[in-house]
Amino acid sequence: MTELLQYEFMRRALLAAVLVGLVAPVIGTFLVQRRLALLGDGIGHVALTGVALGLLTSTSPVLTAAVVATVGAILMELVRVRTRTSGDVALALLFYGGIAGGVLLIGLTPGASNATLTSFLFGSVSTVGEQDIWIVGVLAVGVLAVLAVFGRELFVLCQDEEVARAHGLPVRFLSILLAVTAALTVVIAMRVVGVLMVSALMIVPVAAAQQLSRSFRVTMGLAVFIGLSSSLGGLTTAFYSDLAPGATIVLLALAVYCVAVLSGGLLRRTAKRRRATPPSTAARSPMDTMIQSDRGRLTP
């Protein structure tokens, strides 16, 4: 491990991995809750256009990606609401527009090659510069601050938009806020895992965590733990085994998901068996009677 920290580029890479592992699952929990798991992918494709714009204009690609991804996220939210286009079609439009725009612009950039394109598509955490780390750090703090301030409202919004409206919450503002926060998270994760796998760190840790948890809060905490472990573990493994870091991180997260599915099944079966044990008659409350008589009960 100390060997890992000897290299300046690895220290930066590890810091980027920590920020991604921390932030992506937090926003991912809200996206999964809102059934917008693929939103990150859509925005990731748009971010590629931003990267290309940065390369073409010799500006920081991370900065231009942040701006373009934010605009893309707002556009997608407006397209979804205004044109009565369903969420998945709006996402598809983003996918195609973003990737086509990115490839076209990179092609126009003098000096840019397929290697440049590949490094953004699949991540190149070892080339993260000091400026990138600053931008990523500020974005991460911003995303976490937004979620700390608006978390309670976002929970209600992602749970049930109609109820959010009936509570008088600013539904349109919160929807756009969530989309923009997701866009900034995509930019944070982009350098580590690449735009094609950017959404994996937002979604896979959450999918794994929800196999093991019964509460929203615990799911989020567990997802962050899984996200951090996968990104740090994946990066370290990639360093020592000379593997592609982005892919290693994502595959490690998927492996955790598989383990979580198996252990979640076991946990539920044990809990079911415990519940099936009849309670003593002395302990029976009216509540027990209610459960017994409830014909709509899903679990025995």
Partner 1 sequence: MGDGQGFDNHFRFRHNVGVSAQLIGSGSRSSQVPPAFQVVDAHAAYDGVPVLNGVDVQVPVGQTMAVLGPNGSGKSTLMRAMLGIVPLTSGRIHIHGTPLRRFRDWKRIGYVPQRLTAGGAVPATVREIVASGQVARRRRLSLSTKADRAAVEEALAAVDLSERAGDAVRELSGGQQQRVLIARALAGRPDTFVMDEPMAGVDADNQRALARTIARLSEQGSTVVLVLHELGPLENVIERAVVLEQGRVVHDGAPPAAIGACARPGHVHQHPHPDPNDPDPRVASTDAHSEIVRLEVPHRD
Give me the residues that bind partner 1 (CB under 8 A), please.
29, 32-35, 148-150, 152-153, 155-156, 158-160, 162-169, 206, 210, 213-217, 219, 285-287, 290-291, 293-299
User: Based on CB atoms, which residue is closest to partner 1, 64 or 211?
Assistant: 211
User: Based on CB atoms, which residue is closest to partner 1, 137 or 264?
Assistant: 264
CB of 200 to partner 1, least distance (A): 17
CB of 224 to partner 1, least distance (A): 14
- Cα-trace Rg, the chain: 22
Distance CA 147, CA 249 (A): 25
User: Based on CB atoms, which residue is closest to partner 1, 115 or 287?
Assistant: 287
Q: How many helices (H) and strands (E) does the chain have?
A: 13, 0
User: Based on CB atoms, which residue is closest to partner 1, 3 or 162?
Assistant: 162
Distance CA 197, CA 231 (A): 13
Q: How many residues does the chain have?
A: 300
How is 238-255 classified by DSSP, letter by letter? HHHHT--HHHHHHHHHHH
> Residue holding tokens 């990267």?
51
Q: Where are the alpha helices (DSSP H) in 109-199?
A: 114-122, 130-159, 161-166, 171-193
Taking residue 90's Cβ as centre, other Cβ atoms within 10 Å add up to 20
CB of 289 to partner 1, least distance (A): 9
User: Based on CB atoms, which residue is closest to partner 1, 57 or 86?
Assistant: 86
CB of 43 to partner 1, least distance (A): 19
User: Based on CB atoms, which residue is closest to partner 1, 15 or 212?
Assistant: 212
- In the chain, what is the greatest distance between 2 CA atoms, to the nearest angstrom? 82
CB of 11 to partner 1, least distance (A): 33
Distance CA 277, CA 207 (A): 30
CB of 201 to partner 1, least distance (A): 16
User: Based on CB atoms, which residue is closest to partner 1, 11 or 217?
Assistant: 217
Phi, psi of 36, rounded to the nearest 5 degrees: -125, 45
Q: What is the DSSP letter of 199?
A: T
Distance CA 262, CA 256 (A): 10
With beta carbons less than 8 A apart as the criterion, state whether 160 and 35 touch. Answer: no
Report angle CA 220, 29, 61 to the nearest 5 degrees: 115
Two structure tokens written together for 267: 């946990």
Distance CA 49, CA 95 (A): 11
CB of 114 to partner 1, least distance (A): 38
Q: What is the DSSP letter of 292?
A: H
User: Based on CB atoms, which residue is closest to partner 1, 241 or 285?
Assistant: 285
CB of 213 to partner 1, least distance (A): 6
